[in-house]
Structure 1
């Protein structure tokens, strides 16, 4: 195997350090062939399905300077994420990770559309391995159908309303609405009301 194929590149820069926390990734890259004062780069990166978008790009030939910037950006993003994820605690929501014992296992022969699914904690980044991030309303996707060859499951997070794509294998199990904790029942009602409202809006166009 050619070791060069394993390198992560951003244009002509090799990414030598990267840390993703919360909703942003901070990267540090190097290009020994770059013009003077542009050997190193520090930026925020947002990955899309077929490309990556880099913002707030800073270049320099001073490696310690950009390492310092990299660290500052990591610290700022970590603090921002800490504040955001502290919301459930402030609301008094028990937010321990949900395990297999806390939900009902589902087979690939079952239809999970419209059901509240539990995402396996290990497929989430470390900062998101909590109940508020695991509980999702499965809305669509070929993987949500029984006996489907597809694997994509499109879900809406109960707590935040954010939408995400998961694999069918990422789903640990399901929880019936009546068995949800009180906070989750509240947010499930909100998401269902939003879905009905959006449907009415589309029909009224």
Structure 2
């Protein structure tokens, strides 16, 4: 068991709930005149480092606990609202939908599935799992590297995973129509980009 305390400056993190795009922190520093602090933590930046914002302090424990609970509730509602806007089936992809990952084979330019256990519980849905592999040493067969670079086929967000986070490649018969449409769009965009590059030359 890891007993190491998590510290932010002089404050010790007592409670932390990560949901949606934020982590909500409740912290304490008994030496401060206002010992209780609640703030948000995000990490969506090029370096992936923690960034803290919207901090409030108080000497009233219950007031700060209510603030903490309110922010967590707000994040839950934000995720619900985000999910309600999604127009595709959210049913998660499992091993039955995939050709199991074979590290001896390349998965470059293939539609892969991120393992559910590698995603936070609120994001274990198809729109978060299905990605197009775009590169990285880990995407190659028998590679020593682990990095796999992907683009999410629903959100178009680019990210990095390890090869071990990949469950497998989607079976053709399990490919959703919305993924097929997105792949056609990506291919069209690549062709346009290639033509522009050729014109420059």
Please report the TM-score for the alignment, with normalisation by the length of structure 1: 0.87
The SS at the match of 2:138 is helix
- Contact 1:19–1:74 (CA under 8 A) maintained in structure 2: yes
**CA drift at 1:113:** 1.2
- Contact 1:158–1:191 (CA under 8 A) maintained in structure 2: no
Q: State the partner residue of 1:85.
A: 83
Q: 1:50 and 1:10 mapped to 2: Cα distance?
A: 16
RMSD, matched Cα: 2.3
**CA drift at 1:198:** 5.5
Please report the TM-score for the alignment, with normalisation by the length of structure 2: 0.88
Structure 2 unaligned regions, length at least 5: none
> Within 5 Å, which residues of 2 pair with 1:165-204?
165-175=160-170, 179-196=174-191
Assess, with a 3 A threshold, how the Cα gap between structure 1 residues 2 and 94 changes in structure 2: closer, same or farther.
closer
Q: How many residues align?
A: 198
> Within 5 Å, which residues of 2 pair with 1:40-59?
40-47=36-43, 51-59=49-57
**CA drift at 1:200:** 6.1
> Within 5 Å, which residues of 2 pair with 1:123-142?
123-142=118-137
Q: 1:75 and 1:196 mapped to 2: Cα distance?
A: 45
Q: 1:158 and 1:97 mapped to 2: Cα distance?
A: 14
> Within 5 Å, which residues of 2 pair with 1:65-84?
65-84=63-82
- Contact 2:97–2:171 (CA under 8 A) maintained in structure 1: no
The SS at the match of 2:134 is strand
- Contact 2:5–2:13 (CA under 8 A) maintained in structure 1: yes
Q: 2:118 and 2:19 mapped to 1: Cα distance?
A: 14
Structure 1 unaligned regions, length at least 5: none
In terms of mean alpha carbon deviation, does 22-31 or 190-199 score higher? 190-199
**CA drift at 1:22:** 0.9
> Within 5 Å, which residues of 2 pair with 1:28-43?
28-34=26-32, 36-37=33-34, 39-43=35-39
Q: 1:193 and 1:112 mapped to 2: Cα distance?
A: 21
Assess, with a 3 A threshold, how the Cα gap between structure 1 residues 176 and 76 changes in structure 2: closer, same or farther.
same
Q: 1:107 and 1:147 mapped to 2: Cα distance?
A: 9
Assess, with a 3 A threshold, how the Cα gap between structure 1 residues 53 and 197 changes in structure 2: closer, same or farther.
farther
- Contact 1:115–1:176 (CA under 8 A) maintained in structure 2: no
Q: 2:73 and 2:152 mapped to 1: Cα distance?
A: 26
